[in-house]
Amino acid sequence: MTQAAPDILRIAVAQLNPTVGDIPGNLAKARVARAEAARQGADLVLFTELFIAGYPPEDLVLKPAFVAACEKAVRELAAETADGGPGVIIGTPLKRESGVHNAVMVLDDGKVIAERYKVDLPNYGEFDEKRVFQAGPSMPGPVNFRGVRIGIPVCEDIWGKLDVCETLAESGAEILLVPNGSPYYRGKVEVRQQVVIVQVIESGLPIVYANMLGGQDELVFDGASFAIQADKSLAFQMSQFEEAVAVTTWRRTEDEWVCSDGPMAIIPEKEEADYRACMLGLRDYVNKNGFRTVVLGLSGGVDSALCAALAVDALGEERVRAVMMPYRYTSKESLRDAEDCARALGCRYDIVPIGEPVEGFLNALGQLFEGTEQGITEENLQSRARGTLLMAISNKFGSMVVTTGNKSEMSVGYATLYGDMNGGFNPIKDLYKMQVYALCRWRNEHVPPAALGPSGEVIPVSILDKAPSAELRENQTDQDSLPPYPVLDDILECLVENEMGVDEIVARGHDRDLVHRVEHLLYVAEYKRRQAAPGVKITKKNFGRDRRYPITNKFRDRG
């Protein structure tokens, strides 16, 4: 007998936080999500790209034992669908005669009923899939799931130029379900929706976009899964930065499938989104790598204050230790501001003076340095003494050091190797200085969802009002050797994010000599950035995965 096509299909979107390499843990998450979907009456559960492996698995895919373990886990899940509950679409690497594929398996009735392979492998920015995967050998056709012809393009298959969605429509698909591993950057939700709308127009089909959640090294996956109806309207919108299993109801009309029921979450504005991305990235890096606590230097400056707030919000006050390490140039205001910040956040606060270790270094080098003038070398000894103390605390108590340099400083090399660059993770690595200020002000007025920190003013206004300074010499401010941060940040964004030429940047009103100087500082600091701790990606082009400039580089734009 031919199975009658249903008029209603309840699709659960599992927007979850897998861990790369934790196959048993990811399988357990899938089981819990399927049980929850069954409780809500779902017919089908859509998981995200490479869910069983975690995303991106990078060179783990080159390990045959890893790929085999992923498939074995999916087949265990397939057997469990014999219970008559919802079917499953789940992402996994698969080794077949044609190579190792970024694939999905469709599970129902106790077995694997279909496999589909990603055709368009991304090879730009943070993506490097052509290195480890083989593209699907042919364009995918629809899968018959309980009488409904479902197209399953995988992530880049709807972003690229291979017309995968249009091909699926032409071959009989009625609805497209897309598993994704799409990482966050500012404004990405709108970008995704525009990509999907274009594909809806091309294919004439509704599209469900399921996106992964969670931090993986420098990437943060923000969820925000959604669907677009065939008429280009928003069918449903899931929350951003939160795990969820949402059941959506789709009804067949004469011509198309229409979503009649689903969540409509509000997507955060930019400062909230950036803050929550930094918080999620830090929390997952610490927890997934097994650290119990974190420690950071709290200087009384804006960068360390924001990092302290993020750490307390992500982990809770009992897991955060802040250490003030004063020297002769540390102002009374900075001592007061650091203590006030730690007290407002409720975290442990210690004072460890660095006078003796710095003087010890200077004495040890005294004969070698005799006859030379004091300068940046002696300033850097202060930073390196602080870095050594933080690493000692880390070694003694098992705490991960949170490093606190912002993108403006890292761009122009205003950071000390083996000093303030010491650490395991940097939550503000991809925030320019003015963005740091904006997030501080936002946090003083809001407590983000899932934050474990207190409400109210957690970053003293006096920190935000004073001139930024490393306090490595008398009366020092950043502006002694750098242009004002609004000017510097704009030039850097032009150079880094937009790859603009000097003439174009000058046309925006910037001094030509200053642009040349900033460009030079950017290039010569590459060696430092290569040794920096990982940190959350917030912009379209972070230092690391997105921007791979050579260290040895004589090019300068002579415009």
Q: Which of 49, 115, 156, 471 is catalytic?
A: 49
DSSP state of 75: H
Banded pLDDT at 545 (limits 50, 70, 90): confident
Q: What sections of 289-375 are H helices per DSSP?
A: 302-315, 332-345, 355-369
CATH homologous superfamily for the domain 271-478? HUPs (3.40.50.620)
3-class SS of residue 423: coil
Mean pLDDT over 81-104 rounds to 95
Q: What does the mean pLDDT of the chain come to?
A: 93
Rounded Cα–Cα distance for residues 210 and 138 (Å): 23
Looking only at Cα atoms, what is the longest distance across the chain? 97
Q: Hey, what are 214's tokens?
A: 């969670």
**58 catalytic, yes or no?**
no
**347 catalytic, yes or no?**
no
Mean pLDDT over 1-6 rounds to 62
Write down the pLDDT at residue 479.
Answer: 64
Mean pLDDT over 196-223 rounds to 95
Nearest to 447 by CA among 213, 185, 221, 268: 268
Helix or strand run (H / E) with residue 194: helix 188-203
User: Which amino acid, residue 61?
Assistant: V
Stated length of the chain: 559
Q: Is the pLDDT of residue 476 over 60?
A: no
Distance linking the first and last C-alpha atoms of the chain = 74
Percent of the chain whose predicted confidence (pLDDT) is above 70: 97
Rounded Cα–Cα distance for residues 167 and 202 (Å): 10
CATH code assigned to 9-259: 3.60.110.10
Q: Which of 70, 155, 341, 440 is catalytic?
A: 155
Nearest to 209 by CA among 232, 192, 186, 233: 192
Q: Which of 29, 70, 118, 541 is catalytic?
A: 118
Write down the pLDDT at residue 500.
Answer: 93
**Do 9-259 and 271-478 come out as alike in CATH topology?**
no
Write down the pLDDT at residue 160.
Answer: 79
**118 catalytic, yes or no?**
yes
| Sequence ranges of the domains in the chain | 9-259, 271-478
Across 193-207, 319-333, 459-473, 521-535, least confident range = 459-473
Percent of the chain whose predicted confidence (pLDDT) is above 90: 80
